[in-house]
């Protein structure tokens, strides 16, 4: 049996890191909490609200240690990983509370350390270190690439691009693809064009009108300092079945760059960050999928299944037990629950639970606990009942962002409005049946005014401070999320 010396050295280093982490946990109890979600799911807002609530005081009746006064204080400390950017909590909270704007979305990994001084139920004083790791959910969807060849990925990507609304979004890329011969000599310009058109297709799929979620490779949409590098310059090809790539061919070049992407981007994230997480919350913007229509909803379901598959990835080597993900609790959270009346929250939660239940039942989690919650880390609305004719409709009141439009009216970003968001469906079998719900319309099927569900973008709430203190941030079930994620570690 042949061994790759560099892989062995790297796995040895990471195994020693895992052992060091374990020893550190014994003397300094630490939870590394991964926070992720697909684009615009609310990761930055969730982390900011979580930290703000623990530092400044929030209303967390379900978070037992906080509600009973056993948490003496929480404080920020320097993060332990010098090569990871710090999560910009202070600027994010100012953006939320002073400017009433939502912070910029996550485009790279960041981290923050929060130390919690608490008292155990028996009266003993203890300290828990909470390392919060924020990373884009698109990176998580890259992890399955570790077990796929370039050829398998190409077949899957092409099949996906020819189905549903993706087909018309991929028209220009498909036209260029038809001109390429995988067996022809490698051509840098043809490769650059193919990668650009493929990226344009992925970007169009992510547009809110379509809200597609299954869009690997993730770095194509958020390249960072790798923009323009060969590791991000490849695309699927229509390769022959049961053949191998000739040396010097376009196929061989694409294959080589795909493998470089895994080596440069995917494996370092998996080894240096993902395998070190203890707990994980995956934030899901299911309402965006409702806005876009049934194809987006099914696509989101497939993406969540892919995310769940990531939690059982690991190599079958001598060191695999130390390099497998050690996550023992996973929380899936449907965000923006404040865009619905509370009478629909159970339905939103049931829809997300249905999205992940099949994948959860098939996954081998090694005793990991999985839960689902509908929440809003920062509540932007309040509830009201609005008279329409002879009936009173359960409504929400909030401030639409400037430029939002509903029923032909454009909002100025300063005026509060009451809206009736509608009721989410209760027949989940019909909703998730393949090819079902032909009357379920989203933005991709017409105008916003004629979609079945139209959830406006709302500004953060106006907060009233007292005595010069920063006001608490209103939320929906953020305390329930905290109880599930770290409540047991504060006992």
> Block means of pLDDT (10 residues each) for the chain, length 491 residues?
49 54 63 89 95 92 96 94 93 94 88 96 94 91 91 96 93 97 96 97 89 88 86 95 92 97 93 90 90 84 83 46 68 94 93 83 66 96 84 88 85 89 80 56 44 73 70 93 97 89
DSSP class of residue 450 equals: G
Confirm if 358 and 306 have CB atoms less than 8 A apart. no
Q: Look at residue 450 in the predicted model and tell me its pLDDT.
A: 46
* Helical residues (DSSP H) of 396-476, grouped into ranges: 428-432
The residues of the chain that CATH labels 3.40.50.300 are 5-135+273-377+472-490
- Other CB atoms within a 10 A radius of the CB of residue 73 amount to 10
**Following DSSP, what letter does each residue of 114-171 receive, concatenated?**
EEEEEE-TTS-EEEEEEEEEE--HHHHTTGGGGG--HHHHHHHHHHHHTSTTHHHHTH
3-class DSSP state of 378? coil
Confirm if 341 and 302 have CB atoms less than 8 A apart. no
Q: Look at residue 445 in the predicted model and tell me its pLDDT.
A: 41
Q: Look at residue 442 in the predicted model and tell me its pLDDT.
A: 47
Instruction: State how beta strands 329-334 and 369-374 pair.
Output: parallel
Q: What angle do CA 58, 60, 65 make, to 5 degrees?
A: 110
Separation CA 298–CA 431 (nearest Å) = 9
Helix (H) or strand (E) holding 175, with range, is: helix 171-177
- The verdict on whether omega for the bond into residue 217 sits within 30 degrees of 0, i.e. cis, is yes
Separation CA 286–CA 304 (nearest Å) = 11
**Following DSSP, what letter does each residue of 228-296 receive, concatenated?**
T-GGG------PPTT--PPTTBHHHHHHHHHHHHIIIIIHHHHHHTGGG-SEEEEEE-HHHHHHH-HHH
Residue keyed to tokens 């504060």: 490
Q: Which two tokens stand for residue 178?
A: 């038809």
Separation CA 148–CA 151 (nearest Å) = 8
DSSP class of residue 108 equals: S
Return the CATH class of domain 5-135+273-377+472-490.
alpha beta
Closest-CA residue to 56 (of 11, 90, 24): 90
Closest-CA residue to 480 (of 62, 65, 64, 67): 62
Question: Rounded to 5, what percent of the chain is helix, strand, coil?
Answer: 45, 15, 40
Helix (H) or strand (E) holding 67, with range, is: helix 64-67
Closest-CA residue to 81 (of 277, 362, 354, 295): 277
Q: Look at residue 228 in the predicted model and tell me its pLDDT.
A: 87
Please provide residue 417's backbone torsions phi and psi, each rounded to the nearest 5 degrees.
-135, 155
């Amino acid at each position: 049996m042949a061994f790759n010396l560099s892989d062995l050295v790297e796995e040895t280093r990471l195994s020693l890191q895992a052992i060091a982490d374990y020893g550190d946990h014994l003397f300094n109890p630490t939870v590394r909490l991964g926070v992720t979600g697909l684009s615009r799911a609310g990761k930055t807002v969730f982390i900011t609200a979580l930290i703000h609530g623990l530092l400044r005081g929030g209303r967390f009746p379900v978070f037992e240690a906080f509600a009973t006064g056993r948490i003496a204080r929480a404080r920020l400390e320097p993060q332990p990983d010098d090569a990871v950017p710090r999560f910009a909590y202070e600027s994010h909270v100012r953006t939320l509370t002073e400017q009433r704007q939502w912070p910029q979305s996550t485009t790279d990994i960041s981290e923050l350390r929060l130390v919690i001084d608490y008292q155990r139920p028996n009266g003993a004083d203890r300290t828990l270190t909470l390392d919060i790791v924020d990373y884009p959910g698109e990176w998580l969807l890259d992890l399955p690439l570790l077990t796929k060849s370039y050829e398998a990925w190409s077949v899957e990507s092409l099949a996906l691009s020819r189905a549903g609304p993706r087909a018309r979004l991929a028209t220009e890329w498909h036209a260029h693809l038809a001109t390429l011969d995988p067996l022809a000599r490698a051509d840098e310009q043809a490769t650059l064009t193919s990668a650009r058109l493929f990226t344009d297709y992925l970007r169009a799929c992510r547009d809110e009108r379509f809200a597609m979620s299954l869009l690997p490779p993730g770095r194509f949409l958020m390249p960072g300092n790798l923009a323009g590098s060969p590791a991000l310059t490849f695309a699927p090809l229509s390769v022959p079945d049961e053949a191998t790539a000739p040396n010097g061919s376009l196929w061989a070049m694409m294959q080589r760059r795909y493998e470089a992407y895994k080596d440069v981007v995917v494996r370092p994230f998996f080894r240096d960050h993902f395998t070190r997480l203890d707990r994980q919350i995956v934030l899901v913007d299911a309402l965006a999928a409702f806005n876009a229509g049934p194809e987006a909803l099914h696509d989101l379901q497939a993406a969540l299944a892919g995310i769940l598959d990531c939690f059982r990835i690991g190599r079958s080597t001598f060191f695999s037990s130390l390099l497998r993900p050690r996550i023992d609790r996973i929380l899936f959270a449907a965000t923006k629950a404040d865009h619905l009346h509370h009478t629909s929250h159970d339905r939103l939660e049931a829809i997300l639970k249905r999205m992940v239940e099949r994948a959860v039942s098939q996954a081998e989690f090694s005793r990991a606990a999985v839960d689902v919650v509908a929440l809003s880390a920062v509540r932007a609305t309040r509830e009201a009942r609005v008279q329409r004719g002879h009936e009173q409709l359960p409504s929400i009141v909030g401030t639409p962002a400037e430029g939002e439009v509903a029923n032909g009216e454009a909002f100025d970003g300063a005026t509060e409005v009451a809206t009736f968001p509608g009721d989410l469906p209760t027949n989940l079998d019909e909703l998730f049946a393949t090819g079902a719900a032909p009357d379920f319309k989203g933005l991709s099927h017409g105008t916003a005014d004629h979609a079945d569900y139209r959830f406006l973008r709302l500004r953060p709430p106006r907060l009233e401070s007292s005595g010069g203190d920063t006001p608490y941030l209103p939320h929906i079930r953020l305390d329930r999320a905290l109880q599930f994620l770290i409540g047991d570690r504060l006992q």
